[in-house]
Amino acid sequence: MRRTTGARLGLSALLLTATCAGTGLAPTAAAADRTPRTPASPALLDAMRRDLGLSPAAALERLADERQAARTERAARKAAGAAYGGSWFDAERGRLTVAVTGRKAAAEVRGTGAAVRLVERGAAELDAAKARIDKFDAPAGVASWRVDPETNGIVVSVVARHRSDNDVSAFLERARATAPVRVATVPEGPRTFAAGTVGGDPYYTGNVRCSIGFSVHGGFVTAGHCGRAGASVRGWDGSAMGTFQGSSFPGDDYAYVSIGHGWWTVPVVLGWGTVPDQLVRGSAEAPVGSSICRSGSTTKWHCGRVLAKNETVNYSDGAVVHQLTKTSVCAQGGDSGGSFLSGDQAQGVTSGGWGNCSSGGETWYQPVNEILNRYGLRLHTA
């Protein structure tokens, strides 16, 4: 990588890590569990005020509660065993709720500090029902479908203008034969967020611009629809950067790019001058309901909530992708592949969505731990 100014050189190093910044949280003794590991920046607190409507004090409390909920979820899932029916973070109460199918398991789960809801169907049964739906041919009017632990059933999202289409009705009828189904509507169909070449942004392959996800030892992870295995990658300055070593899309939406040519990786995410660049410390999965932030090469930094996990998305071009996580965060063309963070924990890389950052929308990400496991990669952490 050719050297330019000191400031630009620093930018390139950070772009090799990610296009998003997050906060750090402190896992210490009980009294400190609600205290961030490192002070949240004013810019981050302002973003959470803008996108989540939280005052600075409420944002700090929310971040600490979510950190505790992530730890509780791991213990609660183990305590519930086969009776586990899913979980979600209750932002109003600042507490994790866990669904279970038996009273004995409920008592065990309460011992972990989680709230409990008794349900009829366990997560394994609902996941099996969704897997059967995954085998259906979905029409363009069906946007996505997922297991919803709060209603203990399946939610199918339908594009509003196609709600009465015959092929959509037929899909819903088949879905209802597998499990209880609730129909939700969305204003438009989801799409991926790649974009044509625009000068000065993170990386390019062919005539496509995408955003870098997270640094791994040897390269970075990003979205699979941004390039195929063997494709060459150019950096922000147009110079040779690396090569797609693995890529999967549709079905999945992830890729691994190895780097060279003088480029390097660091365990840092880029704040784009809005949020200070911060360290990535791990990849512990955040519960549904948690706040989450995303940054990409087009729209920079935005926050929202985790809405659902393991959702199957039917993109408007006909590509179907499984096991995505849905969020209320907006995104636009060129943001594909960029980082999703919860606190200082890597969550995933941007896949696609609907809407934009002027009028709002929803965005899905491919969980990062699945990418690491698929390619045998090690996240670069501080």
Task: Give the pLDDT band (50/70/90) at residue 363.
Answer: very high
* Backbone dihedral region for residue 251 (phi beyond 0: left; psi -120 to 50: alpha; all else: beta): left
- Relative to beta strand 320-327, strand 360-367 is antiparallel
Residue with the larger pLDDT of the pair 277 and 100 = 100
Gap between the Cα atoms of 41 and 43, Å rounded: 5
| Residue-wise pLDDT tens digits, 306-330 | 999 999 999 999 999 999 999 999 9
Task: Give the pLDDT band (50/70/90) at residue 6.
Answer: very low
List, by residue number, the catalytic residues: 225, 253, 336
Task: Give the pLDDT band (50/70/90) at residue 201.
Answer: low
Residue with the larger pLDDT of the pair 39 and 71 = 71
Mean pLDDT of the chain: 86
Contact criterion met (CB below 8 Å) for 121 and 112: no
Gap between the Cα atoms of 284 and 343, Å rounded: 10
Residue with the larger pLDDT of the pair 23 and 350 = 350
Helix-, strand-, coil-residue percentages of the chain, each rounded to 5: 25, 35, 40
| Residue-wise pLDDT tens digits, 155-181 | 999 999 999 999 999 999 999 999 999
Q: Check residue 195 and give its pLDDT.
A: 62
Task: Give the pLDDT band (50/70/90) at residue 44.
Answer: confident
Sheet holding 95-100, edge to edge: 84-90, 95-100, 115-118
**Which candidate, 159, 184, 147, 119, places its Cα nearest to that of 288?**
147
Q: What secondary structure letter does DSSP report for 344? A: T
- Asked if pLDDT for residue 253 goes beyond 50, the answer is yes
Contact criterion met (CB below 8 Å) for 26 and 43: no
Gap between the Cα atoms of 103 and 205, Å rounded: 54
Gap between the Cα atoms of 343 and 336, Å rounded: 21
- Asked if pLDDT for residue 271 goes beyond 80, the answer is no
Q: Check residue 320 and give its pLDDT.
A: 97
Task: Give the pLDDT band (50/70/90) at residue 252.
Answer: very high
Q: Check residue 263 and give its pLDDT.
A: 85
Residue with the larger pLDDT of the pair 195 and 97 = 97
Q: Check residue 35 and give its pLDDT.
A: 44
Gap between the Cα atoms of 166 and 180, Å rounded: 20
